[in-house]
Amino acid sequence: MAEENPLEKLIPQVENYVETLKQFKSYVDLAKGKRFEEEDESEFLEVKSVIAQELELIMAMIEVENPSRAEVHKLITDISSLQYLSEQKENVLRSVETQWNKIFIGFQSILGQIKAAVRGAETPRVAQLEAYVETWKQFKSYVDMAKSKKFEEEDEIEFLEIKSVIAQELELIMASVEVENPSRDDVHKLITEISSLQFLSEQNENVVRNVETQWNKMFIGFQAILGQLKVLLKEEEKPKKKGWSFFGRKK
């Protein structure tokens, strides 16, 4: 019987941590919309407590550099209460959302790294990369929604899920094949800088155009990797030829 990888037990723990970060964001949204009650304040404090405690348990098992402990602590300590956050200006709220998005994507990436370590270095299937490319297409469709200002709250939730898949699956792919272009930093920069569809919809045309340019660079980059993988697999499937040649018998 194969020995269980100790990191396998960490997967549900980090998955739960990601869900707790989602709960944190839901309370930020309540404060932003000034739709909270006294009970929400108590629950928000509990969520912050879990984030602080569970972070130490995770960091005791694996090395976490990004996001750092300091970044997580800054996010949850700067917001003393929902009432405090509800009284802040738009630029402060936007900063909170940006920092949360960076931390959230960071832990999605960590989750992908853990899954890759448990699975081991396997050659990714063509279907896996094809699905990843399709996820990038979906990402662009949400960018188009933001650009046209035609999106709803449900679209925001789905867009966050798309970014989560991009961050996780990137680690599984990079654990199996060498990917230089696009780089992990390039991918993370794009998906963390767009904190939400609402944020993107409020940007000027130059910012949106830059997002589209960066997306195109990554999309084509992963298409090239997919093509290289297909070539590699075809070469491996070619039967070794035997027979006569002008130079003697083929071995």
Percentage of residues of the chain with pLDDT beyond 70: 90
Q: What is the mean pLDDT of residues 126-143?
A: 94
Structural domains of the chain, ranges and CATH numbers in brackets = 7-120 (1.20.120), 123-237 (1.20.120)
pLDDT at 124: 61
pLDDT at 249: 46
3-state SS string over the chain? CCCCCHHHHHHHHHHHHHHHHHHHHHHHHHHHCCCCCHHHHHHHHHHHHHHHHHHHHHHCCCCCCCCCHHHHHHHHHHCCCHHHHHCCCHHHHHHHHHHHHHHHHHHHHHHHHHHHHHHCCCCCCHHHHHHHHHHHHHHHHHHHHHHHCCCCHHHHHHHHHHHHHHHHHHHHHHCCCCCCCCCHHHHHHHHHHCCCHHHHHCCCHHHHHHHHHHHHHHHHHHHHHHHHHHHHHHHHHCCCCCEEECCEEEC
**What pLDDT digit, counting tens, does each position of 51-102 carry?**
999 999 999 999 888 899 999 999 999 999 999 999 999 999 999 999 999 9
Asked if the model's pLDDT at residue 50 lies above 50, the reply is yes
Q: Between 107 and 241, whose confidence is greater?
A: 107
- pLDDT band at 3, cuts 50/70/90? low
**What pLDDT digit, counting tens, does each position of 201-238 carry?**
999 999 999 999 999 999 999 999 999 888 877 777 66
Listed range (26-30, 114-118, 119-123) with the worst mean pLDDT: 119-123
pLDDT at 244: 38
Summary mean pLDDT of the chain: 90
